[in-house]
Structure 1
Amino acid sequence: MAAEREHALAALVMFRKFDPPVFDGEKVEPWMVESWVDSMETLFEDLYTLERDKVHLATRCLERKAKVWWKWIKRDRSSDLPPLTWEEFQGLLFTNYFPDSEKKKLQEQFRKLKQGNRSVGEYEREFSHIINCVPDVVRDDRDRADWFERGLRPDIYRAVHILKLTSFAKMLDRALWAEQGNAHVREEREAFERDGGKKRAQSGSRAQSKSRKSPKYPRTQSKGRRPQRCAICGGNHVPRACGKREGKCFTCGQAGHIS
């Protein structure tokens, strides 16, 4: 008995040296429970913690509402039952702070998740966050990659879909590269359109300035042809058609000669 107490104390002292995270049970989001449990398991692995010590050490990190919850669990549990295993403790913790109703909400959110106007990095963070909370939404790494691909924006989806990638890490890497390439093409196009607009504006202004300049040689206004006036009678007809010509000159209208 004394040896067990000494072992438990030594394990607790070593555990606390690594400053384990606390869980207070207040304003809890699903990811907080997952994150705390993951931190505990990582620390257990680093310290080679025995299975029988895990619940004892983890419950020393409970505070406030979570500590009260644990007291109620211990009180309601029969003394005839064996100590809780780490797996059983997690089950009770998740049932209380991450019920099935919340899991279903996240599962539905995961199925509808799309990149939208977000960057690939922002989309990936929410995608991975939901998987961390409800790991059973994907079967394996390939399934994770497929789900991620389905939610990508169409322009990025087209770029990665033809590659037939089966690894999530490769899928994420290619999606990031596609996003960067699309951004470069968009910048080049916008720069071209800006430069083209400037050239068109300059060309238009030059054309307008040329049109405003007066011509070097002024144009003579065309005049309509006036009807020929008769030299004999002054009428609006040619002299040859004049009824008063009587041998008079067609040019000067005088008698004695004919033009």
Structure 2
Amino acid sequence: MHSLDTESVELASYRLRDAAVYWYIAWMSSRGANAPPPMWKQFVDAFLRQYFPPEVHRARVDRFLTLRQGNRSVREYSLQCNSLARYAPTIVVEMEDRVHRFVAGLEPLLINECSTTALLDGMDIAHIQAYTQNLEDQKGQQSEDLNEGQSKRARSSSQLEDVRGSFRPPHSVTGIPSPSQRLSYSDSSRDSRTSSFQYQRDSARMRMPLPRCSQCGRAHSGRCRQGSDVCYTCGVLDHEGLPEE
């Protein structure tokens, strides 16, 4: 605004708020009624002594010198770096120094990729921060794609396991019969085989033709009773009834 030093103090006083207004009134009163208008440097020194003492300033400079990205994103690190750099104007007086300070605090993987870019002619803090932000975005997208692919493979494997686990052989809950079940199956199988064999033997006997008797000329089994006094049907002696012709 090309204002004079005395006018700058008056203009700045209109920007003060809350407790700073009361401080300014008290500071002007302490100068005395006949004191000349304060100069800009006098105002700045008094204001900083009140609200930004030397020990706080040194602490901010130390934070800037030891600032590292750590777990911060590039955006968060850039904002913190820009905020603290104003407290150390003599350290980063040249743009190359400020760019170097920013790159030195990045995480190792980003340092390796940004070190060469930082040496390009005309590189300033805004461009190196934008370049680093773009690198972080690309790495984040690659990580998301990798995680998505792993998740899809995991879901496919889980669905395959569910299909396999849902199959159960008949008469078995777990797929492996217990010892008692195996014994029961064995007994049942043996009884079934015995019954089947007995049935086949009886059926064979029933189907086998009876031999023809040489005495009576008829087909029958056992001893021939023709000419005896026993019953031809039950074989009992003195049975009532006539022999079968």
Superposition TM-score, scaled by structure 1 size: 0.54
* 1:67–1:114 distance in 2 versus 1, CA, 3 Å: same
2-side partners of 1:207 and 1:131: how far apart? 62
Report Cα offsets for 1:77-125 as digits up to 9, x if no partner. 3677643221221122112210110011111111221222222111111
2-side partners of 1:157 and 1:144: how far apart? 15
Alignment correspondent of 1:194 = 151
Aligned ranges 1:103-252 → 2 under 5 Å: 103-165=57-119, 166-201=123-158
Residue 141 of structure 1, CA deviation: 1.7
1-side partners of 2:167 and 2:22: how far apart? 89
Residue identity matched to 1:49: S
Contact persistence 2:99–2:125 (CA under 8 A): yes
Alignment correspondent of 1:238 = none
Report Cα offsets for 1:150-205 as digits up to 9, x if no partner. 22122322221232344212210110111011011101211221233344445666
Across the two proteins, how many residue pairs are aligned to each other? 167
1-side partners of 2:27 and 2:135: how far apart? 52
2-side partners of 1:135 and 1:184: how far apart? 37
Alignment partner of 2:56: what SS?
helix
Contact persistence 2:60–2:84 (CA under 8 A): yes
Find the structure with the greater CA-based Rg: 2
* 1:113–1:68 distance in 2 versus 1, CA, 3 Å: same
Alignment partner of 1:135: what SS?
coil
Contact persistence 2:118–2:128 (CA under 8 A): no
Residue identity matched to 1:190: N
* 1:199–1:55 distance in 2 versus 1, CA, 3 Å: same
Alignment partner of 1:164: what SS?
helix
| Identical columns (%) | 23
Contact persistence 2:91–2:97 (CA under 8 A): no
Contact persistence 1:51–1:85 (CA under 8 A): yes
Gaps of 5+ in 1: 1-44, 214-259
Superposition TM-score, scaled by structure 2 size: 0.57
Contact persistence 2:114–2:132 (CA under 8 A): yes
Residue 67 of structure 1, CA deviation: 3.1
Within the candidate set 5, 14, 23, 1:69 is matched to: 23
Alignment correspondent of 2:48 = 94
Contact persistence 1:114–1:151 (CA under 8 A): yes
Report Cα offsets for 1:62-82 as digits up to 9, x if no partner. 455323333343333367764
Residue 132 of structure 1, CA deviation: 3.2
> Does residue 1:56 correspond to 2:4, yes or no?
no
* 1:134–1:208 distance in 2 versus 1, CA, 3 Å: same
Residue 207 of structure 1, CA deviation: 7.2
